[in-house]
Chains A and B, each alone.
Chain A
């Protein structure tokens, strides 16, 4: 049997694949943060809560309205994204002219409200969301048994990432957005409705989080606290990659997933700290982040 650093090749490949699946979540979430940051210049602390809301919306939609997984995958991001747009329009916009730290604090408060409210209604044990029938079972990849659903998550998340990249880098709307990031006053002067653009952007970022939430629902118990600890890891991923580029966010997310996955084999005790350690390393060697532009 071929060995890689004392681990059989099959196991190594298996862990690599699982790492990629987790990385796909990091990528989706840090992408959402990057999109929002680009135009609004705030760190969306409610991102974890919005991811959680996505999972909950899927769960409740199924339970009370009979909405199936596939429909939820489309509807939930729209609904939660719409909810995000309301948040932007009626709350975030009121403090847009202030120091951007206030945006962080406001979204932090909102996250506490969302989480606390759901804890009161649904407890913290977490509920199960059934894997859609088509995606049950597993694939035998030769080196491992990969549950079909995880394979699907990887494919779906990557497709969504590429779609986002395409939208922003290759379409007219994306061009507005990028221009708005550079100089929003000038855009306004050119007749672009910048406030609307901001609302749509925030809504889109939130929708990405909700999309990740729906993807996660069949994997993890759906509980009100599922987003908060994940968010801190995603923050570290964002610090490592820098929020300057879309592709950077995607690649860093995937990369960190893989690094974390391999740590689980070689030194599992450190698997929840390894991303933070990488962050420290990056801060020492390349303070602006791997893909960062700011000084």
Chain B
């Protein structure tokens, strides 16, 4: 009896696990299908903007949702990626876009390392303030640096030819490239979260002293998470620059750091799809509001969403939906 149960039990668990995996895979396949069809239904440039910000928000969420670190300076990485890519592509005409993007991402990664080393010396609320202050420093440097064009911004970045032979001039080609970049970033985050590394991050988030006592080098884990997050934020910024063919100070401003927090919070902190949804909603909202009579009230409305989210909607849309699903179907 005991034996047969011991054999049967794991298989039931495996079965359930398998079904869950299948459901998840089906879900992702459906999402990818939607992404592939989307540009025929909606305006591709607008979709690309959403995807870039979604990647940015996913990168941010990796840090807040899985490592419990609130960075208030992520705009710095977005902007660094954007400016470096823009500068490279605009000044070296022979360079292909993917090399420009890799260049921008690399520099954002290095900056992430510098920020990380300094910021993880302080915890919690101090961490947020340190990252905010460092990002402000970077903002001022971008204002003064000659290559950014100051308030005029960096313009005329060519989209060029991917790998030297696929022209990104058409919005459709550009869209599929951005979609591929997003999927790459998203898959990387998904892998990271479910890897042993991701499990340790969660352990640190839940109980740091315990993780230390278990012998984990907590600071190294935090730093690695920070650098990875910065790199992906830089990737988002680099890609965005190629799409829009410009880089400007807006991306470096602390408002941008606030916006990415809002996207993540609204969609659902610590959920994989939340940032995607949050970015979609915030970008659409800004777009709609900008052309409506309520245009002047954008910041107020974002502020109200912030307050409502914090007060009574802390799991975000995806989090709440998951809760509802669990309650009703399990």
Report A's interface with B, CB cutoff 8 A. Answer: 37, 41-43, 91, 94-95, 98, 100-102, 104-106, 108-113, 115-117, 119-120, 228, 232-233, 235-236, 238-239, 269, 272-273, 276-277, 279-280, 283-284, 287-288, 294
- Tell me how far the C-beta of B76 lies from the nearest C-beta in chain A, rounded to whole angstroms: 12
- B303 adjacent to A236 (CB under 8 Å): no
Question: What are 22 A-B residue pairs whose CB atoms fall within 8 Å in the complex?
Answer: A91-B307, A95-B310, A98-B314, A101-B128, A105-B309, A105-B310, A108-B261, A109-B302, A109-B303, A112-B299, A112-B302, A115-B299, A116-B297, A116-B300, A235-B133, A236-B129, A239-B126, A239-B129, A273-B137, A276-B134, A276-B136, A279-B130
Known A-B contacts A280-B134, A283-B130; A101 and B306 likewise in contact (beta carbons under 8 Å): no
A154 to chain B, nearest CB (A): 25
> Which residue in chain A gives the minimum CB-CB distance to B125?
A43
Task: State the Cβ distance, B121 to closest chain A Cβ, in Å.
Answer: 4
Asked if A101 contacts B130 (CB within 8 A), the reply is: no
- CB-defined contacts of A236 to chain B, threshold 8 Å: 129, 133, 136
Complexed CA–CA distance, A294 and B299 (Å): 35
How many Å lie between the Cα of A43 and that of B144 in the bound state? 30
Please give, as numbers and ranges, the residues of chain B lying within 8 Å of A102 by CB-CB distance.
310, 314
A-contacting residues, B114-151, CB 8 Å: 118-119, 121-126, 128-130, 132-134, 136-137, 140-141, 144
The answer to whether B310 touches A109 (Cβ under 8 A) is yes
Query: In the bound complex, what is the Cα–Cα distance between A108 and B306 (angstroms)?
Result: 8
Given A112-B299, A232-B133, residue A105 in contact with residue B118 (CB < 8 A)? no
Q: Which of B132, B265, B298, B306 has a CB less than 8 Å from the CB of A232?
A: B132
Judging by beta carbons under 8 Å apart, are A273 and B140 in contact? yes
**Inter-chain contact B306/A112, CB cutoff 8 Å:** yes
Question: Taking CB as reference atom, which chain A residue is nearest B128?
Answer: A104
Q: Is the interface of B mostly helix, strand, loop or mixed?
A: helix
Give A102 to B308 CA distance when docked, in angstroms. 12
How far apart sit A105 and B132, CA to CA, in the bound complex (Å)?
13
Q: Contact at B303–A110, with CB atoms within 8 Å?
A: yes
Query: How far, in Å, is A32 (CB) from chain B's closest CB?
Result: 15
Closest to A109 in B: B306
3 nearest A-B pairs in the assembled complex, by CB-CB distance: A109-B306, A112-B303, A116-B299
Which A residues are in CB contact (< 8 Å) with B119? 283
The answer to whether B132 and A116 touch across the interface, beta carbons within 8 angstroms, is no
B140 and A272 contact, CB distance less than 8 A = yes
In whole angstroms, how far apart are the Cα atoms of A89 and B73 in the complex? 30
Complex Cα spacing A143 to B267, Å: 59
Cα–Cα, bound, A50→B195 (Å): 44
B contact residues, range: 35 or more
Are B141 and A287 neighbours in the complex by a CB distance under 8 Å?
no
Closest A residue by C-beta to B254: A232
A116/B311 contact (C-beta < 8 A), A42-B125, A239-B122, A239-B133 known: no
In angstroms, Cα B307 to Cα A40, docked, is 18
B35 adjacent to chain A (CB < 8 Å): no
B304 within 8 A of A: yes
- What residues of chain A lie closer than 8 Å to B130, measured between beta carbons? 239, 279, 283
- Which residues of A lie under 8 Å from residue B304 when comparing CB positions? 109, 113
B123 & A109 in contact (Cβ 8 Å cutoff): no
The verdict on B190 contacting chain A, using a C-beta distance below 8 Å, is no
In the complex where A101-B125, A104-B125 touch, is A112 in contact with B310 (Cβ < 8 A)?
no
User: How many Å lie between the Cα of A273 and that of B134 in the bound state?
Assistant: 10
Question: B133 to chain A: which residues have CB within 8 Å?
Answer: 232, 235-236, 239, 276, 279
Residues in chain A near residue B118, CB distance under 8 A: 280, 283-284
User: Which of B129, B258, B302 is in CB contact (< 8 Å) with A43?
Assistant: B129
Closest to A240 in B: B133
Inter-subunit contact A95/B311 (CB<8 Å): yes
The answer for the CA separation of A37 and B240 in the assembled complex, in Å, is 38
Give Cα A106–Cα B180 distance, bound, in whole angstroms: 35
- How far, in angstroms, from A273 to B142 measured CA to CA in the complex? 12
Question: Any chain A CB within 8 A of the CB of B84?
Answer: no
Please give, as numbers and ranges, the residues of chain B lying within 8 Å of A37 by CB-CB distance: 125
Q: Is B199 an interface residue when CB atoms closer than 8 A count as contact?
A: no
The reply to whether the CB of B89 lies closer than 8 angstroms to some CB of chain A is: no
Tell whether B70 is near chain A: CB-to-CB under 8 Å: yes
Q: Which single member of A109, A110, A238 contacts B129 (CB below 8 Å)?
A: A238
Is the CB–CB distance between B307 and A113 below 8 Å?
yes
**Contact residues of B between 133 and 184, Cβ < 8 Å to A:** 133-134, 136-137, 140-141, 144
Q: Which residues of chain B have C-beta atoms less than 8 A from A294's C-beta?
A: 123, 126
Contact partner of B303 among A43, A116, A273, CB < 8 A?
A: A116
